[in-house]
């Protein structure tokens, strides 16, 4: 939303409003993702001093919260809730790899106390009936999950009541160990008892690299789309039962994509192939050209550029990567009495 080419402290919410209006036309509530994300902000923050970054973030938070409040006030409720019903205040504070630390503090010297001060405006002007989320991936990893939970509790110690909900992204592989998910939801049950809500915020399930490629780096051809779909349906059924048995009543479930044409982990696989110069095939999906290759990062790009990137991609093995999980939507929703699929 930030345009660095405009010399003024202004954020452009035009595209965001178009997305929200799409949700409204189709009777869907929206999760607002996200107010704090290092990867999104790093080009804007590069080379700036801590004090300048904090001023910029405070301005962004204020304008974003004002936009959310105004949009909800100007539009009718959807499914008995505000149009924007959930806002990710924080996304991926903790590093992906050990040691699990606050990446904002490591990179910019911005502590959790600084972050809670930055978001004081969001707390003071919280939209009615909207939940504030702290969103993190890889919570199936017990050690990382513990670091995230400690961070969540520290945030609310510094600013009581700031965060209502912990979001688990759940970008997982089709070979995910169910027992790790069972342990994850046992932890979530304890948080629920302490008054926290839980959401699954970015669910998708990919094929791991060791299944995707043979020893020569060629894409495996023995796995049909139907075989992959059936394996995913069975794994989702297992996960749904684990969630039901845990006693966790999910506040919401959001899919990363309703099909595998946008696969979060496949993107990482192709980026690794490209950046490490690995001698193996590129796994292609409909949008592989846009998401899977190193390219000059720009904050703004046209639809025409997106189209070119989408068209100029390899098409090999697309049959093995286009399986859909649409038919599994109902089974995972049944894992919670309160769950709603949101965009």
CA 81 to chain centroid, in Å, comes to 22
For 49-103, the pLDDT digits (tens) are 999 999 999 999 999 999 999 999 999 999 999 999 999 999 999 999 999 999 9
Q: What share of the chain is helix, strand, coil (3-state, %, to 5)?
A: 45, 15, 40
Query: How many other C-beta atoms are found inside a 10 Å radius of the C-beta of residue 82?
Result: 22
For 307-324, the pLDDT digits (tens) are 333 333 333 333 333 333
Q: What gap in Å lies between CA 343 and CA 322, rounded to an integer?
A: 21
Residue-level pLDDT at 194: 97
Q: Are 233 and 322 in contact (CB under 8 A)?
A: no
Class of domain 14-262+325-342: alpha beta
Q: What gap in Å lies between CA 214 and CA 210, rounded to an integer?
A: 7
Residue-level pLDDT at 318: 32
Q: How far apart are the first and last CA of the chain?
A: 18
For 102-118, the pLDDT digits (tens) are 999 999 999 999 999 99
Summarize the confidence of residues 321-328 as an average pLDDT: 34
In this structure, what are the phi and psi dihedrals at residue 30, rounded to the nearest 5 degrees? -125, 140
| pLDDT score of 294 more than 50 | no
Summarize the confidence of residues 158-183 as an average pLDDT: 96
Averaged pLDDT score across all residues of the chain: 82
Q: What gap in Å lies between CA 334 and CA 340, rounded to an integer?
A: 10
E strands present in 158-244 = 165-168, 171-173, 197-206
Pairing of strands 30-33, 171-173: unpaired
> What is the widest separation between alpha-carbon atoms in the chain?
57
Residue-level pLDDT at 296: 39
Residue-level pLDDT at 206: 84
Q: Which residue has the higher pLDDT, 29 or 290?
A: 29
For 232-290, the pLDDT digits (tens) are 999 999 999 999 999 999 999 998 877 666 666 777 788 888 889 899 988 776 554 44
For 184-236, the pLDDT digits (tens) are 999 999 999 999 999 999 998 888 888 889 999 998 888 787 888 899 999 99
């Amino acid at each position: 939303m930030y345009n660095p080419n405009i010399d003024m402290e202004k954020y452009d919410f035009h595209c965001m409003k178009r997305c929200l209006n799409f949700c409204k036309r189709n009777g869907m509530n929206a999760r607002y993702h996200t107010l704090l994300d290092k990867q999104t902000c790093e080009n804007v923050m590069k080379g700036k001093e801590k004090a300048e970054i904090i001023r910029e973030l405070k301005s962004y938070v204020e304008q974003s919260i004002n936009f959310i409040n105004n949009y909800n006030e100007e539009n009718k409720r959807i499914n008995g809730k505000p149009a924007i019903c959930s806002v990710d205040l924080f996304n991926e504070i903790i590093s992906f790899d050990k040691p699990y630390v606050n990446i904002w503090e490591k990179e910019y010297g911005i502590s959790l106390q600084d972050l809670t001060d930055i978001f004081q405006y969001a707390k003071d002007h919280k939209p009615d009936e909207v939940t504030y989320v702290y969103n993190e991936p890889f919570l199936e990893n017990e050690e990382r999950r513990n670091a995230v939970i400690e961070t969540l509790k520290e945030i609310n110690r510094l600013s009581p009541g700031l965060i209502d909900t912990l979001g688990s992204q759940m970008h997982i592989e089709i070979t995910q160990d169910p027992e790790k998910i069972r342990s994850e939801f046992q932890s979530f049950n304890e948080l629920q008892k302490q008054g926290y809500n839980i959401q699954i915020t970015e669910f998708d399930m990919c094929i791991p690299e060791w299944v995707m490629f043979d020893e020569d780096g060629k894409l495996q051809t023995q796995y049909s789309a139907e075989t992959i779909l059936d394996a995913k349906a069975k794994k989702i059924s297992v996960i749904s039962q684990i969630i039901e048995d845990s006693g966790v009543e999910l506040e919401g479930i959001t899919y990363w994509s309703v099909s595998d044409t946008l696969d979060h982990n496949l993107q990482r696989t192709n980026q690794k192939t490209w950046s490490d110069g690995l001698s193996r095939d590129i796994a292609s999906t409909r949008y592989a050209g846009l998401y899977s290759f190193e390219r000059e990062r720009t904050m703004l790009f046209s639809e025409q550029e997106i189209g070119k990137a989408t068209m100029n991609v390899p098409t090999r093995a697309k049959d093995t990567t286009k399986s859909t999980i649409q038919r599994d939507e109902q089974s995972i929703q049944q894992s919670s009495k309160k769950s709603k699929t949101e965009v």
